[in-house]
Amino acid sequence: MRVDIPWITQKGLLAVLILAPCVIALGQTQDPAYSSLSRAYESFKARDYDTAVPAFLQAIQASPLRADIRKDLAYAYLKIGENELARDQFREAMRLDPNDAPVALEYGFLCFETKQPAEARRVFNRLRHTAAAPYAPTAEQAFHNIDDPLAAGIERWTKAIEMGADNFGAHFELATLAEQRDDLALAAGHYERAWRLMPTRRSVLVDLGRVWKALNRTDDALAILVAASRCGDARTAEAARALLPDRYPYVSEFKHALDLDPQNVELRREFGFLLLRIGRQPEAEQEFREITVSDPGDLLSAAQLGFLLLARGEREAAMPLLERVLAGKDEDLANRVRAVLRLPQTLKSRADPAAVDAKTMAERSIQAGYLQDALRYLTTAHEADPGDYSVMLKLGWVYNMLHQDDAAYRWFSLARGSPDPRIAADANRAWNNLRPAHERLRLSAWFYPMYSSRWHDVFGYAQVRSELRVIPGVRIYASARFVGDWRQTTTQTATGAPPQYLSESAVIVGAGLHTLPWHGLVAWGEAGSSMSYLNGHKLPDYRGGLSFARGAGHTLRGEAPGWFADTAFDAVFISRFDNDAMLYNQSRLGFTFGPPSLRAQLYWNGGLTIDDKRQYWANFVETGPGIRITGSFLPKSMFFTVNAMRGAYLINTGNPRGPNFNDFRAGFWYAFAL
C-alpha cells in the first residue's frame, strides 16, 4: 500500500537531508593546534627555526597532551643547538607516551650530554629490559658505557678508603659516584662522612639532603636542607631553598637542623629570633648565649643578648656584650646600643642614611642569594649617593651574576674611577674581562716565534687585526698576517714536505668576519690576498673555519696552583692550498705550580692533524710532555713553551721520512690589545 506524504512534509525531509551533513560538519571539532602546527612544519622544512620554535610552542599550548608536538619541538631545538631545551621536551614526550622507545633513547643520550648521567643511566636501564629490537641493544650498550665506569670508580675509592684514605675528597668522590649509580644508601653514608670531616663545606649538605629525600628520610632531609639554607654561602643557601617546601620552617625543624649542624651560627641566630617572636624568651636567650661564646664576632647576637639581660636588670652581665658592639664596625647597630644606654649618637658617614640602609639590605640580599632584591636596593643606594664607587662595583657584580653583561660592563667602567685603589683594581679587572665582547672598535696583535728540530728551522707567526662590532655576536675585521721561516723556504724540501706546511713565506692581507665565542665555539671566514715577500707573487686567498676551545682547572695566570686541562679544535679551509681542508686538535692535561712571580705548567700533550687531500705530512698523531713558563716580570699574556713530541704518520704513501718522527719545539707567545 502506498502512503502519500504531504508536500510540506516532503520539503521538510529534503531540507533535513541537505542540512544534516552541514550540521555534522559544523559539529566536528577542529584540531586547535592545526594552524600553529602547519606554520611550524612549513618553517621547519624551510630551516627557519626561529619561526618554527614559537609556532611549536603555540601548538603545545593549544594541545598540551600531544607527545608528537613535543618530540618535533625537541628536534627543532637540536637544530639550533639548544640541547637542554630539547632534553626537557623529550622528557615530556616520554612522560606522555612511555612506550615510545626512540624518544626515550633521545632523552637518555641528551641527559648524558647535558651532565645528567644518573638520569641517563635510569632511562637506559629501563629500555634495555622493556624495549624491542633494535632499541634494547642500543640501550644495553649505553647503560654499560655509563654504569661500568661508575662501578669501577666505586670499587677504586672503596679500596682507597679501606687502605686509609679517610679524607673529605675520597668520601665525597665515592658518594658522588654512588648517587649517580642510584646506590643511595652508600651515597648518603659517604656524603655524611665527608661533611663530618669538613663541616665548613656546607654545600655537601645539599647533596646529603637530596639523597635523604630520595631515601624517604623526609624529616632528616628537611632538617639538613634548613641548615644548608641558613649558612653563609649564598650559592649553597639558594640551592637548598630550591629543595625546601614553600613555607617557613617549624620550630621542631630548626631544632632538628641544629642537632645535625650545631656549629651553624646563621641557623642558630635565626632560630633565636624566631623564638623571641613566639614569646619563648628563655630558649632564645640560650641560643644567643651559645653564639656569643662560639663566635665572639657576631655583634648582632651579642647586642640581642645584651638587650635581653639589660631588660631583666642584669646590667653587669649585659655591659661586656654591649661594649663589644660599641667597639665593633657596625655603626648602625652601635648607635642602637647607644640609644638604649642613653649615650650620645655618633655621626654617620656623609652618605645619605637611605643609601646606608639600602647598602646594608643589598649586602644581606646578595649573601642570601636574592639578586633581584639586591639590584633594587643597590639602585636605591646609588640614587641616594651617586658618588659611592663601592655601590657601582656591586651593581656590576650583580648584573654580571644575572647574565646582563652589557649593564655590568657599564657599571664596572664607572667603578674604575674610584679613588679607593682596591675598588678601582677590582672594577678594572672585571671590566677587562668583559671588554673584548663590548668594545665597538678593537685593535689586537699576537706573535708566536718557535724553533722545531723536526724541520731544523725557526718559524714566525704574527697577526695584527682591527675589529668592528656591527651587530651583537658578530665582528667584522681587517687583518695582516705574517707566516715565515728563517731558512726562507720556497721549494719542496729534501724531506719531501711541501713548503706551505713549513711556511707560506708571505704576508696575508684580508678582511672577514667572526662570531663571538658561544660555549667556546667561534666561526670565521675571510677573503684577501697572499703576497710572498721572497718573490713578490700575489695569490687570492680565501680562508674560513670553526674553532673550539675549552679549559678547566687552574690556569697559568690563575690565583692558585692546581690541576688543569684544555683542548682546542680548528677546522680550516684554505683556498690557495688546492682548496684543502684541515682539522687540528691539541689537548693538554697537567698541573700548574709555582708562585705568581714565576708560574709554570707541566703537562702532557696529545695532538691530531688530518686533511681532506690525504697528504702524508698533514695526517699524523703526536704526544709528549711540555712546559709553559710565565711570571710577574713578563707582560700578562706572554709565556714561553717547550715541548718534546713523538709522532706517527697516519698515511705513509709518498712519505720519504719513515712512519715516526721526533720533534723538539721551543718558542714564546705574546698577545696584546689596544
DSSP string covering 139-199: HHHHHHHHHHHHHHHHHHHHHHHHTT--SHHHHHHHHHHHHHTT-HHHHHHHHHHHHHH-T
Please choose, from the candidates 572, 590, 522, the residue with its C-alpha nearest in 3D space to the C-alpha of residue 550.
522
Domain boundaries, the chain: 353-438, 474-673
- Cis link prior to 134 (omega < 30° from 0)? yes
SS3 401: helix
Q: Is there a contact between 305 and 283 (Cβ–Cβ < 8 Å)? A: no
pLDDT digits (tens, 9 = 90+) for 310-361: 888 888 888 888 888 888 888 888 888 888 887 776 655 544 444 446 777 7
pLDDT digits (tens, 9 = 90+) for 175-226: 999 999 999 999 999 999 999 998 888 889 999 999 999 999 999 999 999 9
pLDDT at 615 over 70: yes
Q: Is there a contact between 184 and 211 (Cβ–Cβ < 8 Å)? A: yes
pLDDT at 11 over 60: no
Lowest mean pLDDT, pick from 405-419, 484-498, 612-626, 647-661: 484-498
Using alpha carbons only, what angle is made at residue 97 by residues 93 and 99, rounded to the nearest 5 degrees?
A: 125
Rounded to an integer, the average pLDDT of 75-89 is: 90
For residue 8, the model assigns a pLDDT of 40
Q: What are phi and psi of 392, to 5 degrees?
A: -60, -45
Determine the angle formed by the axes of helices 83-96 and 67-79, rounding to 10 degrees. 170
- Rounded to the nearest 10°, the torsion over CA 190, 192, 198, 200 is 140
How many other CB atoms sit within 10 Å of the CB of residue 241? 18
Rounded to an integer, the average pLDDT of 216-237 is: 89
- Read off the C-alpha cell for 351: 652618605
State the DSSP string of 205-234.
Answer: HHHHHHHHHHTT-HHHHHHHHHHHHTSS-H
**Percent of the chain's residues with pLDDT above 90:** 31
Per-residue confidence band for 431, with pLDDT thresholds at 50, 70 and 90 = confident
pLDDT at 405 over 70: yes
Q: Please determine, looking at this structure, whether the domain spanning 353-438 carries the CATH number 1.10.3720.10.
A: no
Q: 279's torsion region: left (phi>0), alpha (psi -120 to 50) or beta?
A: left
pLDDT digits (tens, 9 = 90+) for 620-671: 999 999 999 998 788 878 899 999 999 999 988 877 778 899 999 999 988 8
pTM of the model: 0.48
Write the CA distances from 324 to 220, 299, 302, 330, integer angstroms.
37, 7, 8, 11
pLDDT at 2 over 60: no
Average pLDDT, the chain: 83
What is the C-alpha separation between 390 and 418, in angstroms, rounded? 8
- The answer to whether the Cα torsion of 410, 411, 414, 420 is positive or negative is negative
Query: How many residues make up the chain in this entry?
Result: 674
pLDDT digits (tens, 9 = 90+) for 360-401: 777 777 766 677 778 888 888 877 777 788 888 888 888 887
pLDDT at 24 over 60: no
Please choose, from the candidates 626, 625, 631, 627, the residue with its C-alpha nearest in 3D space to the C-alpha of residue 557.
631
What is the C-alpha separation between 610 and 309, in angstroms, rounded? 79
For residue 347, the model assigns a pLDDT of 56
pLDDT digits (tens, 9 = 90+) for 501-510: 446 788 999 9
Using alpha carbons only, what angle is made at residue 529 by residues 523 and 531, rounded to the nearest 5 degrees?
A: 130
